[in-house]
Amino acid sequence: MAAISPFSDLASLAKALSSKAISVPELTRFFLSRIATDTTNSFLAIDPETSLAKAAAAQKRLDSGDTGGQPPPGKGPGQGFSLVGLPIGHKDIFVTRDWPTTAASKILKGYRSPFDATIVEKLEQAGMVGMGKLNCDEFAMGSGNTHSAFGPVKNPWDIRAIPGGSSGGSAAAVAGGLIPAATGTDTGGSIRQPAAMCGLTGIKPTYGRASRWGMIAYASSLDQAGPIARTALDCAVLLGAMTGFDEKDSTSLERPSEDFANGIDEPVREGGRPGMPLKGLRLGLPREFFSDGLGTEVRQAIEAATAELKALGAETVDVSLPRTALSIPAYYVIAPAEASSNLSRFDGVRYGYRAGNPKDLEDLYCRSRSEGFGKEVQRRILIGTFVLSHGYYDAYYMQAQRVRRLVAQDFEAAFNSCDLIIGPVAPTVAWDIDAPIKNPLQDYLADIYTLGVNLAGLPAMSIPCGFGHGDHAQRPIGLQLIGRKFEEKQLLSVAHHFQHATDWHQRTPMAGVTK
């Protein structure tokens, strides 16, 4: 067996499988051995026998010449590669037949789904080998992965720090070399933020691009699935396999999937050339993203990344997203309102946790939900129920929906002046797991640069662009790229060119960073 780095990207592993330097079962056993050493609390469920059985099936596909429609590396045009035989972990918000699905909540502990989520099914059809379920904030509600019923996830770069949330288990597992890629969900930044804080690449596609069927719903008009991996190329290939119309999902757009990797290394705009692949591209810098609330170390990293993009030929223009601050209250009215409806199905009657010896039906409902749900989930259910109640619906929920429309209009106006928008993902680097939280709003403020994207249904991604300073020198920083609807290919291409010119995405916790 060839020597394999736990920090290899998917493209490198695909090449190793294609050249027979390693077999799928050997690769699977290698990452299972890595998972067995996990000290970050990233995984909630594994089943080595199941994963090895999937690996054997994938090896048969490769042996028969089935590469999932992709030519072997170096044998065809473009940068795409086969996903057959490559390992992946799934956020424990996607239902799976082969592993329990809990949404990191006591109320679903031990639950087994009779079917796979469409995202899980699509990636398995592409030949990927499922490695298990990954920790997350309970029902995807959180910004630090500290709200899991099964304990917080630690950031492999600095175990004192959060990995970001809610897809923190997905990001920590990839950053720590336990798996090369993972699925995540993004309701208000939950792919981009953990990717940024763990030094990875993650993309949230346009709302409706990826099926929500089998994704345990938090906020139905905001939730969207996407990949977390090491490189933009990896994410492009994964996103191509994950997206496409799903008739089982009423929110799925009747739009075919794309080969996002095809042409990813070509100039982004007409007139671009080698060395200047971003020539002619206009990058919008929202002045609201660079106000006093932005931490100095994050600001410096984003400014350096912007300079690198300009060196690749891009130009910058100042734009305004004047309702950025309003996206926080709008989101934290709309999302809890939808959550209060979605989570009403968890009642202790049909499945999941049930309180013992109830006195009557009301006692069963009350105690099952109060004992099964964590404090943050209870808080958001109560908020959501309040804003939807008689007398408050118009005052809060409808007002938030009006703000949502205005936030979307702000983005539309900004895109009249630029091709895509760039800025920070979060105001600070990852904070300490045990940092005192004065009130829940402190946690919510970390989402100020990401929430607007979800309210507007736009695609956005995070790519590594630097590290903090001093005591934070081991804590990564991410650059956010925001595009027009259905412009994922442009985002991925810009990210790919940036990663060709920099090595931030190649840094690993094992290799350390330069202070």
Query: What is the distance between the alpha carbons of residues 187 and 453, in angstroms, rounded to a whole number?
Result: 10
Encode 149-209 in three state secondary structure: CCCCCCECCECCECCCCCCHHHHHHHHCCCCCCEEEECCCCCCHHHHHHCCCEEEECCCCC
Parallel/antiparallel/unpaired status of strands 87-91 and 282-286: unpaired
Q: State the greatest distance between any 2 C-alpha atoms of the chain, in Å, as a whole number.
A: 74
From the number of C-beta atoms within 10 Å of its C-beta (0-12, 13-18, 19+), residue 46 rates as: middle
**Dihedral angle over CA of 403, 409, 411, 415, nearest 10:** -170
Helix axes 488-501, 232-242, angle to 10 degrees: 160
Query: What is the distance between the alpha carbons of residues 130 and 87, in angstroms, rounded to a whole number?
Result: 6
Upstream peptide bond of 166 is cis (omega within 30 degrees of 0) = yes
Is 143 an active-site residue?
A: no
Identify the residue whose tokens are 């205005």.
406
| Of 105, 190, 340, 462, catalytic | 190
φ, ψ of residue 465 in degrees (nearest 5):
-145, 10
Query: What is the distance between the alpha carbons of residues 190 and 353, in angstroms, rounded to a whole number?
Result: 26
Q: Is 481 helix (H, G, I), strand (E, B) or coil?
A: strand
φ, ψ of residue 276 in degrees (nearest 5):
-135, 55
Terminal Cα-to-Cα distance of the chain (whole angstroms) = 36
Query: What is the distance between the alpha carbons of residues 377 and 398, in angstroms, rounded to a whole number?
Result: 22
Q: How many CB atoms lie within 10 A of CB 270?
A: 7
The two structure tokens encoding residue 355: 């309180």
Parallel/antiparallel/unpaired status of strands 282-286 and 420-424: parallel
| Of 12, 166, 340, 493, catalytic | 166
The two structure tokens encoding residue 185: 């969900």
Query: What is the distance between the alpha carbons of residues 422 and 444, in angstroms, rounded to a whole number?
Result: 21
| Of 91, 122, 154, 489, catalytic | 91
Rg for the chain, CA atoms, rounded: 22
Q: Is 51 helix (H, G, I), strand (E, B) or coil?
A: helix
Is 190 an active-site residue?
A: yes
Residues labelled catalytic: 91, 166, 190
